[in-house]
Structure formats: C-alpha cells, structure tokens
Amino acid sequence: MTDAERAQAHREEMKRIQAEHRAKMKTKRKADHGLLAVHTGKGKGKSTAAFGTIIRALGWNKSVGVVQFIKGTWKTGEKEFFERFSDLVTFRRMGDGFTWDTQDRDRDIAAARAAWDTAQDMFTGGEFDLIVLDELNIALRYEYLGVDEVVEALAGRHPRTTVIVTGRDAPDALIDSADLVTEMTKVKHPFDAGIKAAQGFDY
C-alpha cells in the first residue's frame, strides 16, 4: 500500500467512525438531574480524579463543595490549594484522621456523623452543582454510618447537584444506586517498593 493509499484508507475509516459516533450521540439525552459517581478500588487516584473533576467544574463557573470524612488535620496539597480559593470552593475537612491513629470508635463515629450532617445540608440545599464526599466509603466500611441511610439520602439530593463519593470498598448498595462507578486497579505502587508517600504526588 502506498502512502497515498494508506492516507485515503485512514480518512475513510475515520469517516466511518465519525458517522457511527454521531448516530450514537443522537440516541443520547442530556441529564435532567445531577449524577451520583463512585470512585473506589485499591488503586491510587480515587480522590485525585474527584479533585480533577472539581477543576473541570470550576472552569465552567460551577459551585463546588467538598466534605472530607477521614483525613482530619493531615496537611494535604488539595486542602492547601483550595484554601486559596475559598470564594470558589466550600471545603469542609471533618474527620479526626485515619482510624488507626484515633483508635477510638466512638470518636470516629461522632466525627463521621458530623461530617455526614454537613454533607447532607450541602447536597440537599440546592446551592451546589458538585459535591465531593471524600473517603465516605471508609466511614461506611467501618460502619460509622449506615449504608441504607446514606444511599437513601443521596437519592434525595437536590436535582441540581452531582455527588462524587470516594474511597476503597464501596458497598454494593451504593454501587447499585450510582450512575457512574469507576474502580481504580493497582498494577504497581511505590509503597510496595518501600517508598513513602510523596508530598505533591500522593497528598
């Protein structure tokens, strides 16, 4: 096949793909309400992807809120960054830290409950286009909050509001109720090679 023939074959293939895509898009409709997304799995990138979506939403002048359930007083890059833009992002870090640090179930439950109450006010109030509930799945895994309660409340979110829930081990009921579920799969991680979490990359 000559270069000219290869170029023509490529054009014809791209035309075919374009036509298929346009036909498929005609069968789709715009969402008439905010969506529920779940980022879960053992791989890195669940919260990272959610914060990337925040940047995308802000680019379209959307109103954004974040409730962090676990990270507590741990200094993270996202918290440091969004503090500079408090007029754009409502950021609530509610947890007391990792469960292995607190070692106090009652305290962890109380912190999760306070975070959940804040989250419900935010995703039902109609003020936000996007809410990220960071590490909510961890609070569910340790049964600090009831799964049925959370799923029911999220189903009653304001029609305007899209919610992203992050964290490992998302419960089946939450996955079933979500519009989008992404599972991050770990293929390789520097921690397994003895390398500590890096500032500006992991947190």
List pLDDT tens digits, range 62-82.
Answer: 999 999 998 766 778 888 888
Q: In this predicted structure, which of 55-64, 65-74, 180-189 has the lowest mean pLDDT?
A: 65-74
Which of 86-90, 103-107, 189-193 is predicted most confidently?
86-90
Size of the chain in residues: 203
How would you label 125-161 residue by residue, b for 16+ Cβ within 10 Å and e otherwise? eeebbbbbbbbbbbbbbeebbebeebbebbeebbebb
Say what the alpha-carbon torsion angle 126, 131, 135, 141 is, to the nearest 10 degrees: 40
Taking only the tens place, the pLDDT of each residue in 152-168 is 999 999 999 999 999 99
- pLDDT above 80 (res 175): yes
- pLDDT above 70 (res 198): yes
The stretch 41-58 carries a mean pLDDT of 96
pTM, two decimal places: 0.89
- pLDDT above 90 (res 199): no
- Residue pair 34/158 in contact by the 8 Å Cβ criterion: yes
Taking only the tens place, the pLDDT of each residue in 12-47 is 999 999 999 999 888 888 888 999 999 999 999 999
What's the pLDDT at 137?
A: 97
- Mean pLDDT taken over the chain: 91
32-193 has which CATH code? 3.40.50.300
Report how far residue 159's alpha carbon sits from residue 152's, in angstroms, rounded to the nearest whole number: 14
The stretch 170-179 carries a mean pLDDT of 98
What's the pLDDT at 1?
A: 85
What's the pLDDT at 95?
A: 65
Report how far residue 34's alpha carbon sits from residue 142's, in angstroms, rounded to the nearest whole number: 28
Taking only the tens place, the pLDDT of each residue in 97-113 is 555 556 788 888 999 99
What's the pLDDT at 197?
A: 81
